[in-house]
Amino acid sequence: MFGAVVVGIGTAGWVRIRDMLAPLPGSPAEKLNVRAFISRRKLDSQQGVSQVTAEEAVSREDIQVAFICTENVLHEENIRTFLQAGKHVCVEYPMTMNYKAALELWNLAQEKGVILHEEHIELLTEDYKELKREVEGKLLQEGTLHFTGGALKPGFGFPAFSGIARLTWLVELFGELSVTAATMEEDSGNNYCKMTAKLLTSDERPLVWIEERGPGLPRAKNINFQFDSCTLTEVPPAPRGAVGIFMQDLIHFSAKLAGQVSPGELHREKIRILHCLRLAGNIQQLCKR
Ligand code: NAD
């Protein structure tokens, strides 16, 4: 069994506790036992789980795993604290707000012999799985992914990082990308921003990624992917899966803890995560110019 602590009791932290209290029967997630949570607020027990300080959590021998569910800007510091204490870490995406820090943290995890896992629930949705099936075997000519959503709360960072789920979709669908241009329109008084990044696939096919957020904008992914044989203009609708996406991620993470994920798969995931963080950093640099 692995004892776990959840850091940050927002939407994601609450779901992590819920899922560890009722893991999918027969799955490796049954090996996780939530023992405590950490919050900057003084909170009553959450779903029957009690609060501890970070100092207590790092020193407790019955806690071997930390779930980092805070705002994005605090991920790096929290991950480092727990890795240094020799604990396995599951962090909600994005791992960090820059590529270099992520690389350092992977090295630290390796040095300590522990698992560092970044949650990517967007790859586990039925919509995505259906889209992946549709795209398979087709040759992309050009494409656009335009995401819209409500304004982000403070601490979620630059849109290329807070929206890394969309970038991860593009990389998983079309392979490694490069950035050729990026711009940012901002109206901070109205909490509005629109980032436009121009990308190229390895065979020089253009992709545009737009991340647009503002109060009242509907949460939606608009796509236009032109292939040699057809054009896809919407994400194919798919019924919800039987197992929730956070639960699927928990199962994947706990399979890693149990040594059930091959080194090849772990390596592929690490390469993809670092590639996306590097691209996000490049986009941010280009927007600053
Ligand atoms: P959230 O805004 O609900 O919580 C973020 C942080 O704010 C947490 O540390 C929480 O402790 C704190 N917080 C929440 N309510 C508070 C309050 N009333 N007073 C003071 N502090 C409070 O954000 P979230 O959706 O849980 O996101 C956390 C992380 O999970 C982020 O890195 C995000 O990118 C990632 N994530 C979230 C989802 C999701 O569906 N919510 C999906 C994928 C990844």
- In the numeric block, the tokens 């109206």 are attached to 187
| Mean pLDDT of the region 129-147 | 97
pLDDT value, residue 1: 94
| CB-CB contact of 221 with 166 (8 Å) | yes
Tens of pLDDT, residue by residue over 224-252, are 999 999 999 999 989 999 999 999 999 99
**Ligand 1 pocket check for 23: Cβ under 6 Å:** no
Distance CA 157, CA 31 (A): 34
* Alpha-helical regions (H) of the chain: 11-21, 54-59, 75-84, 99-112, 126-135, 159-162, 164-174, 245-257, 263-288
Res 166 pLDDT > 90: yes
**Ligand 1 pocket check for 95: Cβ under 6 Å:** no
Res 76 pLDDT > 90: yes
pLDDT value, residue 59: 98
Res 103 pLDDT > 90: yes
Crossing angle between the packed helical segments 245-257 and 11-21, to the nearest 10 degrees: 70
Using a pLDDT cut of 90, give the percent of the chain over it: 98
Distance CA 143, CA 230 (A): 12
| CB-CB contact of 105 with 94 (8 Å) | no
pLDDT band at 216 (very low <50, low <70, confident <90, very high): very high
Global model pTM greater than 0.85 = yes
pLDDT value, residue 233: 97
Res 270 pLDDT > 90: yes
Ligand 1 center from residue 136 Cα (angstroms): 34
Burial 24-57 (b: 16+ CB within 10 A, else e): beebbbeebbbbbbbbeeeeeebeebebbebeeb
Ligand 1, atom 16: closest residue by C-alpha: 10
CATH number for the domain formed by residue range(s) 2-119+243-258 = 3.40.50.720
**Ligand 1 pocket check for 70: Cβ under 6 Å:** yes
Mutate to test the pocket of ligand 1, among 70, 73, 77, 249 (most ligand atoms within 8 A of CB): 70
Res 289 pLDDT > 90: no
pLDDT value, residue 188: 87
pLDDT value, residue 11: 97
CATH architecture of 126-237+281-287: 2-Layer Sandwich (3.30)
**Ligand 1 pocket check for 121: Cβ under 6 Å:** yes
Tens of pLDDT, residue by residue over 120-134, are 999 999 999 999 999
| CB-CB contact of 5 with 89 (8 Å) | no
- Delimit the domains of the chain by residue range: 2-119+243-258, 126-237+281-287
Res 182 pLDDT > 90: yes
